[in-house]
Amino acid sequence: MNWYNIKNIAESNTTEVMIYDEIGMWGVDAKSFIEEIKSIPNNNSILLRINSPGGSVIDGLAIFDALNRLPQKVTSRIEGLAASMASYIALAGDVKKAYDNAIYMIHNASG
Phi, psi (degrees; rounded to nearest 5) at 82: -130, 95
Say if residue 89's pLDDT is above 60.
yes
Q: Which residues contact 36 (CB under 8 A, 6 or more apart)?
A: 6
Residue 54's region, left for phi above 0, alpha for psi from -120 to 50, else beta, is left
Tell me the catalytic residues: 84, 107
pTM of structure? 0.88
Say if residue 53's pLDDT is above 70.
yes
Average pLDDT over residues 27-34: 85
DSSP codes, 33-51: HHHHHTTS-TTSEEEEEEE
Predicted pLDDT at 10? 63
Per-residue pLDDT band for 2 (boundaries 50, 70, 90) equals low
Per-residue pLDDT band for 27 (boundaries 50, 70, 90) equals confident
Burial profile 66-77: b = 16 or more Cβ within 10 angstroms, e = fewer: bbeeeebebbbb
Predicted pLDDT at 56? 92
Predicted pLDDT at 41? 92
